[in-house]
Amino acid sequence: MAPERTLPSRWLQLYFGLFLFVWVALWVFPYWREMQAPSFQVGQPAPYTVIAPREVVYIPSTWPSQRPATRNNPQATLYSPDAALFLEFRTRFLSTLDYINTLRQATHLTEEQKIQDLLLLEHLQLTPQEARSLLRLSETVWEQVRTLSPRLFLRFLQNPRPVQNAQQLQGEILNSLPLDVHPEAEVWIRRLVFAYLLAYYQHVAPGDAREVPPEAIRVYQPGETIVRRGDPVDPSTYEILSRLNVVIPDQGVTGFLRQVQFPLMVLGAWLIILTVHFLRTPAIWNFRALTALQVGFLLILAHVRIGLPVTQSSPWLLFLYPFPLYALLAHLVLGPWTGLVWGWALIASSLVDHTWASPLVLYHSLSTLVAVLALGKPKSLREYVGATLAMALVATAVLVGYGPHIGLDGYRMTTWIPLTLSYSLLTGGLVLFLEYGLSWMTGRATRLHLMDLARPDHSLLQLLLQRAPGTYQHSLMVGNLAEQAARRIGADALLCRVGALYHDIGKVENPYFFIENQTADMTNPHRDLDPYQSAQILKAHVAKGLELAAQHRLPKRIRDFIAEHHGTTILKGPYMRAVEAAGGDPEQVPLEAFRYPGPRPQSKETAILMLADICEARIRAHQPSTEEEIRALVRESIELRFREGELDESGLSIRELREIEDAFVQVLAGAYHQRLLYPSETRPAPLPSGQALASRTLSTSASLPEESSA
């Protein structure tokens, strides 16, 4: 049965509480810094450039006082006293362009149906010939119309000019067009802009008009510069920056909470999720694992939050920032749910209140999810490469899909696409580089480290092969058994295999004192030793193995296999000899002198190794000839360890023990099946000289000799 979990101790709760305090402090720090010393001040040069993260429409909270139109102020009659009218016509114009574009791309409609739909547009009042001409524009020309006409329309609304009649308005539109515009595009830009400007002006009541200065209404397209570094900050710009949360005015605790209520709700939700995850996941109760998880979280959060203003002028830096790195490392060390929960919490904490929050959170969250799912439990570098490519594809898709909303179109998009590849390669490279470093800090063997330890040319395995070849072959067989059993019950198969390869590494000290390294013509050295000395030599291979593992910096998780694979079992051979030497009285023999130091297996993986070790040794000793005999020996060995209590702290259930038994029998039956006895080879008589080599034949009763089994 699994050991019963207990609630974290008081010091561990305080430790987690300290982490939450630092987390909240780091998140609030940018607000506190801005309220104490605002980066932007009216009349002062801007400390850095700010780029619009999305379309920004600024209408001042207070309009200029009402002033009737006069001869010296004729443009006053051209502008609405109501900001809502400005927004309404702007929306109408953009909707019309989208509607025309949709009709042009509609494949399920005939051209005549499209023309009839275009004739219904309210302000354009197209003729059938004009509608047909609009539908037949090339994509290049239409793209110019879609790009330039909104800019020109908004320019006229924001920067009014005195206009006396419709002809003069058309002339002003023509003079405002770029010189390199296509002639067909020029015709339709003038047609669209004029129609909606005229309709807008006709809604103005001259008697109620108020003069709106050109700077009153500002519209910034995504990616457009709001203020440049060194430019003086005017009141309108300051108000725009305040609305974008770039400037945080000091407005007291109540005002601060009102301003950041949504980010606080997001952080509160993540706090609840993290707390539940912390209490329900024993893997992160380990002090070193929890320390690594929290320190990494806080370091990245501090770096992003404290360096946040720099990214306002270079938003591409945050699209390049390797946020998935933290989630992938947590996934490899502590499991997938830990990686996703803590990784998404880090992304939300870092970016939820950033001016580019929407695209950045989506970009990094989806990239993290796909990378974790693609990586899974890696068995080779192929999985790492696959996760890197998957992350690059998803990041590119998000950037392309979100690009128009953040001002990326045409050439600018092509310059940003390489960011996604750099972002993925940087993340993947850092994962491979840092994975080794986290192994010793957390006490857990990462997948990449395990794959490295499983290489046959590893120095320790080569030492074992050269000094104790029998133990090396035994370890390979135990590794096969443990790996298949772990797969059957859902345990870590790679960890079991690597642990099995190194579990007997201490036998290189005195290899010939272990029977698998003794040849047929060799005298067993234990015959000349006192049973107490034999027991000490045999038990010493555990301590020696731990010493070698420490020298070669094997992860603690692998060292657990060395320490626990015998548990606290008794060395039966030396013990029985000691009892026999004591006249058959067990009371005269101290049992602890023949007991392995332990501890008992503390995990399913080390328990599987213990069972694989005893089963392989007993099968090799008894040499059963049928599958039934193999199963009987395997079942007897497992039940022996179960009755001795060696599996009590491993977490293995009865059902899992049955699965392990079946896996062992399947592997051992294939390895130790009965071989056929082949007749001896009949050698042909020597061939005469000059006989062609191709004429050599063997007797029909002869057969090539088969390699004998171990």
pLDDT above 70 covers a percentage of the chain that reads: 75
Specify whether 482 is located in the same domain as 431: no
Q: Does one domain contain both 519 and 535?
A: yes
Whether the per-residue pLDDT at 152 is higher than 60: the answer is yes
**229: pLDDT strictly greater than 50:** yes
Domain enclosing residue 127, as ranges: 74-211
* Residues 442 and 461 placed together within one structural domain of the fold: no
Q: Which helix (H) or strand (E) holds 51?
A: strand 50-51
Predicted local confidence at residue 528, as pLDDT = 81
**Are 507 and 401 contained in the same domain?**
no
- 216 vs 463: CA distance, rounded Å: 81
Whether residue 663 is contained in a domain is answered as yes
Buried b (16+ CB within 10 A) or exposed e, 71-105: eeeeebbbbbeeeeebeebbeebbebbeebeebee
Residue 115 and residue 97 in one domain: yes
Q: How far is CA 349 from each of CA 20, 113, 263, 338, rounded to the nearest angstrom?
A: 12, 51, 8, 16
pLDDT of residue 525: 86
The H-or-E segment that residue 198 falls in is helix 183-202
Q: Does the pLDDT of residue 4 top 70, yes or no? A: no
Q: What band does 656 get if pLDDT is binned at 50, 70 and 90?
A: very high
DSSP 535-557: HHHHHHHHHHHHHHHHHTT--HH
pLDDT (average), residues 287-295: 77
| 410 and 278 housed in the same domain | yes
Find all residues with CB under 8 Å of 620, minimum gap 6, and list them. Answer: 474, 516
Judgement on whether residues 297 and 413 belong to the same structural domain of the protein: yes
Provide the b/e sequence for 412-424 (b: ≥16 CB within 10 Å): eeeebeebbbebb
Q: Pick the last residue of a domain from 422, 446, 470.
A: 446
DSSP string, 412-467: HHHHHHHHHHHHHHHHHHHHHHHHHHHHHHHT---HHHHHHHT-TT-HHHHHHHHH
* CATH number of 433's domain: 1.10.1760
Stronger pLDDT, 698 or 26, i.e. the higher one? 26
* Amino acid, single-letter form, for residue 362: L
* Residue where a domain stops, chosen among 174, 194, 211: 211
Average pLDDT over residues 284-307: 79
Q: Tens digits of per-residue pLDDT, 411-441? A: 667 777 888 889 999 998 888 888 766 666 6
Q: What is the mean pLDDT of the chain?
A: 78
The answer to pTM > 0.75 is no
* In a domain? residue 681: no
Of 564, 534, 535, 538, the C-alpha closest to 549 is 564
Phi, psi of 509 (to 5 degrees): -70, -50
Residue 118, SS3?
Answer: helix
The answer to whether residues 560 and 634 belong to one domain is: yes
Mean local confidence (pLDDT), 157-166 = 59
Q: Which amino acid is at 65?
A: S
On the question of pLDDT at 696 being above 50, the answer is no
Calpha distance 149→161 (Å, rounded):
18
Q: How confident is the model over 327-353, as pLDDT tens digits?
A: 998 888 777 778 888 888 888 888 877
pLDDT tens column, 254-285: 656 665 666 666 666 666 666 666 655 555 55
674: nearest Cα among 624, 633, 628: 624
Q: Are residues 391 and 424 in the same domain?
A: yes
Residue 205, in any domain of the structure: yes
Q: 377 and 495, same structural domain? A: no
Measured CA to CA, the distance from residue 243 to residue 252 in angstroms comes to 17
Q: Are residues 389 and 303 in the same domain?
A: yes
Query: With pLDDT > 90 as the criterion, what percentage of the chain qualifies?
Result: 25
Asked if the structure places residue 2 within a domain, the reply is no
- CB count within 10 Å of CB 702 equals 15
CATH number at residue 653: 1.10.3210
- Whether the CB-CB separation of 599 and 561 falls below 8 Å is answered with no
Q: Which residue has the tokens 């067909």?
A: 184
Query: Does residue 309 carry a pLDDT above 60?
Result: no
Residue 496 contacts residue 605 (beta carbons within 8 Å): yes
Per-residue buried b or exposed e for 194-230, using 16+ beta carbons within 10 Å of the residue's own CB: bbbbeebbeebeeeebbbbeeebbbbbebbeebbeee
Instruction: Yes or no: say if 440 and 553 are a contact pair by the CB < 8 Å rule.
Output: yes
pLDDT at 63 over 70: no
User: Does 80 score more than 70 pLDDT?
Assistant: no
pLDDT of residue 214: 44
In sign, the C-alpha dihedral spanning 502, 505, 506, 512 is: positive
3-state DSSP call for residue 595?
strand
Confidence of residue 121 (pLDDT cuts 50, 70, 90): confident
**Length, in residues, of the chain:** 710
Q: How many domains does the chain have?
A: 3
CA dist 647 and 660 (Å) reads 13
Q: Which of these three, 446, 476, 492, is where a domain ends? A: 446
401 and 513 in a single domain? The answer is: no
Q: CA 471 to CA 474: how far, in whole Å? A: 5
More confident residue, 75 or 116: 116
SS (H, E, C) 452-510: HHCCCCCHHHHHHHHHCHHHHHHHHHHHHHHHHHHHHHCCCHHHHHHHHHHCCHHHHCC
Cis peptide before 586 (omega within 30 of 0): no
